Chain A
């Protein structure tokens, strides 16, 4: 398949011209220099440092040219020969390749009890034993959710009290402006249900809600207790102040309780921002992008629904939604789920059980 694909891509002339490369290099150098400037370098020093880290531009251009041009004819001939050899040796080859592809893009939804419950038990969240992570499996490999898939699933599911999505990608490179020197802060984008589903109240002010996570909603942020302490000396005046994070100017509406570090062990965001701000704080708008998989999805199980029932319902729902999203279309071949934490109190991470579909 790869041989055919390479061949097709070469014949379609998907090689690129040098203007494109030069443009890419220029953008790269600018971003790199901007980063150095943010960290306090003068513009000149930042440009020099960027050049140094990038390496020799002419060498890169040469290597690129070589990659583009040199192997072309040779490679086409080889690819062609290889493809024919494969077909002759194995007449079933073409058919088999198609079948593999169909299964390859098949994925199915699975739910995991969040069993790194050590993290959850020590966090001030409500009834951690009913929190689940919903995971997509592509041939057994966990995949992230796209925003459209999350949105559709959240709107239609009936077995959960609520679900929310966060980005692990976070805003590690978020820049805080307007409060002294520019500096990096870590932000986390969360959908409107985040605080409600986790059951985390505000220490001060209010938490984010569904109304904050709409395209036209005024941009707001909830800050962590640690950030509140560091930046505002735990003053109530923090509420109503503005955080300039990348392209967004978000008003602080609340402070999270002490000891709440978010949903992921080991990452402690300074601020939580509603998902609707994504296009303003990241380089590309991914809210309408069914092919961009970048979200982690957590949910709270309804008290009257067993994990296995939820699993079956979500799996069925996922298959219904699959036709809206060509990439995830395919057959569901099985599901994985973790046993509830309560059933295995001594296990930090219960074993994964395979069940038929």
Chain B
């Protein structure tokens, strides 16, 4: 049985921001690998979905990107966090915790 869960709606952005905050500039592959590493097999992530997310984050000014060279010597785009991104991450992390706490309370109350 596959115990891995889909990426909950809206959380990929948060995971990407958190990854960039912790790791510094990374290319898309590195970000996807890092998220999988942290999830330790509990997440079914189609790695490609990270690219529309990266574009969205960049359009909002939360991350910036520049071309660099990957480990295998190819051109690769490296993403890094902006200071607006840092603020956004703090706000989103807080709202995430609130949501989780609220749902937990609700679920515990139901049982």
Chain A residues within 8 Å of B, Cβ to Cβ: 1-2, 5-6, 8-10, 14-16, 20-21, 23-28, 30-32, 34-35, 53-57, 59-60, 63-64, 66-68, 101, 104-105, 138, 141, 144, 169, 172-173, 246, 283-284, 286, 291-294
Contacts and interface: CB of A to CB of B under 8 A. Distances in A.
Contact of A27 (B27, B55, B60, B87): B27
B70 A56 contact: no
Interface of A is mostly: helix
Given A53-B46, A67-B52, A14 B70 contact: no
B26 to A, nearest CB: 9
A141 B93 CA distance: 13
A27 B48 contact: no
A292 B68 contact: no
Given A27-B29, A32-B29, A20 B77 contact: yes
A292 B88 CA distance: 19
B99 interface: no
A23 B74 CA distance: 9
Interface of B: 23-25, 27-30, 32-33, 37, 46-49, 51-52, 55-56, 58-61, 68-72, 74-78, 80, 83-84, 86-88, 90
B83 A104 contact: yes
23 contacts: A2-B60, A2-B61, A5-B84, A6-B60, A10-B59, A24-B28, A27-B74, A27-B76, A30-B74, A53-B47, A55-B49, A59-B48, A60-B51, A63-B52, A66-B52, A67-B52, A67-B59, A172-B37, A283-B27, A284-B78, A292-B25, A294-B23, A294-B24
A29 to B, nearest CB: 9
A338 to B, nearest CB: 22
A69 to B, nearest CB: 11
Contacts of A246: 71
